[in-house]
Amino acid sequence: MAKLRGRGIAAINYPTGMNLGGDPSQVVIVAQPDGRLVVNVASVELGQGIKTVLAQIASEITGVSVEDIEVRFGDTESAPHDTGTFASRSTHRMGNAVVKASEEIREIVLNTAAKMLEVSPRDLEIREGRVWVKGVSDKSVEVKQVISQAQFTYNTPVVGKGFYVKPKSSVDPETGASDPHSTMAHGCTVAEVEVDTETGFVTVLKVYTVYEVGKAINPQLVESQIIGGIVMGMGAALTETVYPRYPALDFQTTSFRDYILPTAGDIPEIVAKIVESPTPTGPFGAKGVGEMVVNSIAPAIVNAVYDAIGVQITDLPITPEKVLKALKQKEAAAKS
CATH code for the domain in which residue 302 is found: 3.30.365.10
Mean pLDDT of 4-29: 91
Q: Of the ranges 52-56, 76-80, 236-240, which one carries the lowest mean pLDDT score?
A: 76-80
Say how far apart CA 28 and CA 334 lie, in whole Å.
68
The percentage of residues in the chain with a pLDDT greater than 90, rounded to a whole number, is 82
207 is a domain residue:
yes
Together in a domain, 117 and 231: no
| Of 282, 269, 274, 276, nearest in space to 234 by CA | 269
Question: Of 124, 143, 166, which residue is a domain's last?
Answer: 166
Q: What is the pLDDT of residue 186?
A: 96
Q: What is the pLDDT of residue 187?
A: 97
Together in a domain, 151 and 187: no
Together in a domain, 82 and 192: no
DSSP classification of residue 216: -
pTM: 0.91
Q: What is the pLDDT of residue 174?
A: 95
- Confidence category of residue 163, pLDDT binned at 50, 70, 90: very high
Together in a domain, 94 and 218: no
User: Does the pLDDT at position 18 exceed 90?
Assistant: no
Q: Which of 70, 128, 192, 291 is catalytic?
A: 291
Dump the DSSP string for 41-66: ESS---SSSHHHHHHHHHHHHH---G
Tell me the residue range of the domain where 304 lies.
Answer: 3-15+181-335
Distances (CA, A) of 311 to 5, 57, 193, 318: 13, 48, 14, 12
Q: What is the pLDDT of residue 44?
A: 86
How open is the CA angle 81-82-84, to the nearest 5 degrees?
A: 145
Say how far apart CA 199 and CA 185 lie, in whole Å.
39
Q: What is the pLDDT of residue 7?
A: 98
Say how far apart CA 201 and CA 324 lie, in whole Å.
9
174 is a domain residue:
no
DSSP classification of residue 283: G
Q: What is the pLDDT of residue 38?
A: 97
Domain count, the chain: 2
Q: Is 223 annotated in the active site?
A: no
